[in-house]
Amino acid sequence: MAHSNTVWGTASAFLDHARKIRWIDLLIVASLAGMFYGLLMLQSEWTSAASPAKEPIDLSPWALPKYTLYSLSRGLIAYLFSLAFTLAYGYWAAKDHMAEHLLVPMLDILQSIPVLGFMPGLVIALVALFPNSHVGLELAAILMIFTGQAWNMTFSFYHSLRSIPKDMNEVGSAYHFSAWERLKWIELPFSAIGLVWNSMMSMAGGWFFLMINEAFTLGDRDFRLPGIGSYMSVAVEQDDKSAMFWALLAMVLMIVFLDQFLWRPLVVWSRKFRIEEGGARDDTSSWVLDLLRRSWLVARVAEWQARRQNTRFARSQNATRPVQPPHGGLRTWLATLALLGLVAVLLYGAWRLALMLLVLPAGQWTELGTAALLTLGRVLLATALGTLWALPAGLAIGLNPRLSRILQPVIQVVASFPAPMLFPIAIAVFNACGLELGWGSIVLMLLGTQWYILFNVVAGTLAIPHDLQEAAQSYRLSGWMRFKTVYLPAVFPYLVTGWVTAAGGAWNASIVSEYVTFQKHTDAAWGLGSTISIACAQNNFPLLAASVLTMSLVVVIFNRLVWRRLYHLAETRYSLSK
Amino acid sequence: MTETQEAPAAGTKPLCEVRGVTHDFVLPNGKPLRVLENINFAIQPNEVVALLGPSGCGKSTLLRILAGLIVPSKGEVYYRGELLRGMSPGVGFVFQSFALYPWLTVRQNVEVVLRAMHMPNDTLRERIQHCIKTVGLAGFEDVFPRELSGGMKQRCGIARALAVDSEVLFLDEPFSAVDALTAESMRAELIDIWAAAGRNPESILMVSHDIKEVVYMADRIVVLGSNPGRIVKVVENKLPRPRDYRAPEFLKLTDQLHDIITGHEIPDAAPGKAPQAAAIEPIPNVRPNMVVGLLEYLDARGGREDIFHIAADTKSEFGAVIETAEAAEMLDFVDTPKRAVVLTEDGKRFVKAHPNARQALWREHILRLKLFKDVHALLEKQPEHTLDADHVRELIVLHMPHEDYSRMFRDFIGWARFGHLFTYNEHKGRLRLPDAHIEED
């Protein structure tokens, strides 16, 4: 008995200690205050400048925390826009069957338009709207980040809404849920996990063009906003190696910070929405979330929230609930109106675009076609090269439980690092080796996209059922046969996802890979990406529109013809769910 | 194809053998969990051996150790008298979950293991066809596994195992994922394949928790006990083949196995045994509803029933029924004289009670167990009546280092919730006394 008493003794001692953790509450208060201060700083930055012009960038490392904060807040504000867009657009597409036929293909096209395609229009319009402050330029930068974030989140939400099990929806109908209650109790919880994962991916995608979003030239006009991206651009321009190093470090820290303080807690939290029971595989944890759950402050806020819910619930119980009409007449009418409005806008846009494109000579179009094929070749080569090393490496990592536990979060962080920030280093290496940019651009594309392949292969390998591996072992399949009959087919669906993501990234990257500025010297490799960059730099709007249109056409056609078929093959033939 | 197999001659070398095998799994907390302890046994040529035991006794692990899939923590494995390194040569392994490659057709699933043996093309085709025909899958060669029923999938699994022409066929609960009638015919077919003279497999080693199945198939039945897994008894089965499930000898042997298992798993308390007050009792892996179900079942049948009859009647695995009976016995709801389970007075009272009264009774009975009593007392002492879950886990680990603590904690919480003894918030990892109880104090 004495033995067990000491156990309880130490246990209770620790318990008392644990309840006294108030510093976490202090930290929460401090960080809330910090956020408030940051907002104030942001506000002054937005409204301070007299005109949207080139701002001097301070290359001292001490200026970086402020710049990091600016870039971070742009990313977060863009994310909020993306989330709002996702919820509205995804909901509309999933609920309105007539609009669905237009909205889904449109999303497909939007996804294929490179960020730079949106830039000139956005910048010119917004700067004209706010001529006397940074607001227009800031909004333009935020919207450009938004265009790198929103689409895959929207797709995820739309697909979740469409794949809600029938019985869950029937519950909603049987108990007369209103549309809001349906969203709150069924639709949002069901899509939460996909939405969180895609948000994480989107945020990473949004950083990709940070250097361009914060510092760009349009014709003879030079725009620059304070942030990590512009800091890096200026550092590259002035060939300041230590400043480049500090910028890279700041970027890494920002990504790790977001991962630890935002995404990881959200991922762990969202696990409570998983549908299947059990599932022992997933054991990620978040120390931040654990701390928050211990916080006294958070607990009180949660209690207050619960009480408020209760009183509201009691109130709504007292009121008799009107029975919802099956089809709100007004709502259908409004939806039709919105759809018609959208169609009108699209038709007008198409008309204007056609007018603009008519200016281009026919020879330009064939040139664009050749450029597109050239870039397509580069994209495919980059994807193939990435597969060549990432497939075996991913398998090796996935098959080794200890290695995968350590490396998986690392790969995730590395994958969210914006590769263009590494381009200056890569180009310095090319120059030293005498590698032409035509080939070098493939390596540049690879820098950003290979991680998607690696990441997906690791995930796929971790999902291979143990008995299939045991069967391979007991029948002594040799290394190559094991790869061919077990591992490759088992990870194939994941590999296809990796390819699609990587190729999409490579198309986007072609714009900055085929046209690079290094130490005030610009180098271009002929291709569709460089054509877009050059058109943008020369303010040649017809060419820009034509090249962006070509790219999005090629991407959409390639998706239809190749990736979709591979997806279908993966689903029917190589799916592990029987 | 029904000639009787000769009993193994005394001097023959065993095909497979384990000597002094002990195996530990590592728990998530880094502590070893012993699954097998000091196992010695051999498979002779020309016999069917069955490993019988409740789930969790390590029988599948032992099978994998003999096949070379798992290297034991301690002890040696021999194949034909030679120390085994890596996979056992010539092993055909049939998995409970079939383990067929879903992207390969029936033919390709068989083909791939032959390719791994570098079999030349001309013999390969013939061999595949032969194996597929033997298991009765002719005509299904180009079908993907997902289009097959469970029984057909397992036929493909057996064809794959036969294809490598192994001397020993390892079967890991081959029919537990197959419907009962199909399993019946597959057992007979498998014995016919084995009995065909002069062909591999020479011997079969199978794992099962179905007593009738092992009496039907095996020449030797190795009964394993759990916690940790060890050999309880080896029973020779000399019944002539083909065996008849209703033959008196068959039933007698089944009965004998029942007695061995119950005698080992739920020994009758020795008269005058002092209650072990200080020790913390391990909580069985049983959900409260299963205990209630058992009590209801007994009540509807006059308060007494044979434990194997219950298992057969409810189509449950006998190991699970035994564990449920043990749990009910811990709570004084039943007695288990020999193979019978008898409702006690407390048990009868529980069955008759209303839901709320049942909850109170359950609470009262689990509070007789030391773990619940201690945790409850501690919660009452705490100013806020809350307790970190890790402290309970720690307590379990300290007192029962060889148990899977996270499993036991789950059951502990399940039992406590059922009696509304404490509430448990999974996110916060905190136990709490329900408000009603606090106000009572």
pLDDT digits (tens, 9 = 90+) for A109-167: 888 888 777 777 788 788 888 877 778 888 888 988 998 889 889 988 998 898 888 88
DSSP class of B229 = B
Token match 């990870």: residue?
A491
Cα of B96 to nearest chain A Cα, Å: 9
Residues B340, B353: Cα–Cα separation, whole Å? 24
Residue contact A474–B69, C-beta within 8 A: yes
Which of helix, strand or coil describes residue B184? helix
Give the Cα-Cα-Cα angle A243, A245, A249 (nearest 5 degrees). Answer: 115
The model's pTM is: 0.77
The architecture of the domain spanning A359-578 is Orthogonal Bundle (1.10)
Q: Is A473 on the interface with B (CB under 8 A)?
A: yes
First to last CA, chain B: 75
Give whichever of A266-270, A538-542, B1-5, B169-173 has the largest mean pLDDT. B169-173
Residue ranges in B314-404 assigned as alpha helix (H): 318-330, 345-352, 355-366, 370-381, 389-399
For residue B148, the chain A residue with the least C-alpha distance is A578
Tell me whether domains A45-294 and A359-578 share a fold. Answer: yes
Cβ distance of A477 and B95 shorter than 8 Å: no
Query: Could you tell me if A43 lies within 8 Å of chain B, comparing CB atoms?
Result: no
Q: Which residues contact B367 (CB under 8 A, 6 or more apart)?
A: B373, B376, B421
pLDDT(A239) > 80: yes
Query: Domain boundaries in chain A?
Result: 45-294, 359-578
Kindly list the residues from chain A whose CB atom is less than 8 angstroms away from the CB atom of residue B67. 474
* Cα–Cα distance for residue pair B431/B424, rounded to 1 Å: 5
ipTM of the complex: 0.74
Res B350 pLDDT > 90: yes
Tell me the domains of chain B and their CATH numbers: 16-90+166-263 (3.40.50.300), 288-352 (1.10.10.10), 370-440 (1.10.10)
User: What is residue A13's predicted lDDT score, i.e. its pLDDT?
Assistant: 38
**What one-character-per-residue DSSP string does A359-406 give?**
TS-HHHHHHHHHHHHHHHHHHHHHHHHHHHHHHHHHHHHHHSHHHHHH
> Cβ–Cβ of A578/B97 closer than 8 Å?
no
Check pLDDT > 60 for residue A510: yes
User: Alpha-carbon torsion B163, B169, B173, B175, what sign?
Assistant: positive
Element (H, E) at A232: helix A228-237
- Position B259 scores a pLDDT of 87
Which of B69, B98, B112 would you mutate first to test chain A, the one with the most A CBs within 10 A?
B112
CB < 8 Å to A477, chain B: 112-113, 116
Averaged confidence pLDDT in chain B: 86
What pLDDT score does A274 carry?
74
Within 8 A of B68 by CB-CB distance, chain A residues are 474
Which of B391, B394, B430, B432 is most worth mutating to test chain A (most A CB atoms within 10 A of its CB)?
A: B391
Question: Measured between CB atoms, which of B67, B104, B278 is closest to A1?
Answer: B278
| Cβ-nearest to B113 among A1, A475, A489 | A475
Q: Is the pLDDT of residue B127 over 60?
A: yes
The per-residue pLDDT for range B176-220, each reduced to its tens digit, is 888 888 999 999 999 999 988 677 788 999 999 889 999 999 999
pLDDT score recorded for residue A313: 56
Per-residue pLDDT at A328: 60
Architecture of the A45-294 domain: Orthogonal Bundle (1.10)
**DSSP structural state of residue A263:** I
Enumerate residues 491 to 510 of chain A having a beta carbon within 8 A of any beta carbon in chain B.
492
Q: Where are the beta strands (DSSP E) in B226-326?
A: 230-236, 304-306
Contacting residues for B1 by C-beta, under 8 A, at least 6 apart = B192, B195, B196
The whole-number average pLDDT for the span A472-494 is: 89
The predicted structure's pLDDT at residue A1: 37
Residue A211: predicted pLDDT = 83
Cβ <8 Å between B103 and A573 = yes
**Binary contact (B394, A294; C-beta < 8 A):** no
pLDDT at B85: 83
Q: State the best of A10, A21, A475 to mutate against chain B, taking most chain B CBs within 10 Å.
A: A475
Residue of chain A nearest B98, judged by CA positions: A467
Subunit contact A18:B388, Cβ cutoff 8 A: yes
Partners of residue A7 in chain B, C-beta under 8 Å: 394-395, 398
Cβ–Cβ gap B387/A15 under 8 Å = yes
Are the Cβ atoms of A12 and B378 closer than 8 angstroms? yes
Is the pLDDT assigned to residue B261 strictly greater than 90? Answer: no
